[in-house]
Structure formats: C-alpha cells, structure tokens
Amino acid sequence: MIKQKVAKAVIENGKIKSIDKKLPPGEIKVKLLYSVEEDSRKESYVDTIVRDTSGIYKNVNPEKESSKLRSEWDRKIAKKISR
C-alpha cells in the first residue's frame, strides 16, 4: 500500500524554490495540484450562451425562421382578438 503525504511547495521554472516539509531521500513520485489565477476578463452572459449553443442550429435559416415565428405569433393574436 502506498502512503501519501501532503507538502506545499513553490516551483519556479520546473525547480523547487521552497517546500514546507523535509522530503525523504531518494526518488519520490508526486502528483501535482496547482493553483492558477483566474482570467481577469469575466465571460459575459451573452458569451456564455453563444459558446454553449454554438453549432446546434447549423442548418437553420434565421430570416425564414424569424418570419415564420412572427406569422405564427400574428395568427395567435388575431385569433384572440376575434373571440
């Protein structure tokens, strides 16, 4: 069974600059978990929608669909008025 321990270290250019514990002699295998700064530019709501829906309506003609939706909406309004 492999025993795991946690140590915090600062690594710059692939070399350990500081570490908070003494490491055992010889070769050790490590798993690195590291923190990165978040991008300062926040993604807008529109950017999120465009990214998430990009490519799902590849074969849709927007002009034809918008006129179709408008005519359906007009018919529903006309139907309500005539009642």
- 42-72 pLDDT, tens digit per residue, is 677 877 887 787 777 777 787 888 888 888 8
C-alpha–C-alpha distance, residues 28 and 17, integer Å: 17
Question: How much of the chain, in percent, has pLDDT values that exceed 70?
Answer: 92
Q: Is the pTM of this model over 0.85?
A: no
Question: How much of the chain, in percent, has pLDDT values that exceed 90?
Answer: 7
Q: Residue 9, Cβ neighbours under 10 Å: how many?
A: 14
- Mean pLDDT within 3-7: 87
Q: Which two tokens stand for residue 9?
A: 């270290």
Better-scored residue on pLDDT, 14 or 43: 14
Whole-Å CA distances, 12 to 17, 23, 74? 6, 18, 65
Helix or strand (DSSP H, E) at 78: helix 62-82
Query: Which one-letter DSSP state was computed for residue 13?
Result: T
Write down the pLDDT at residue 4.
86
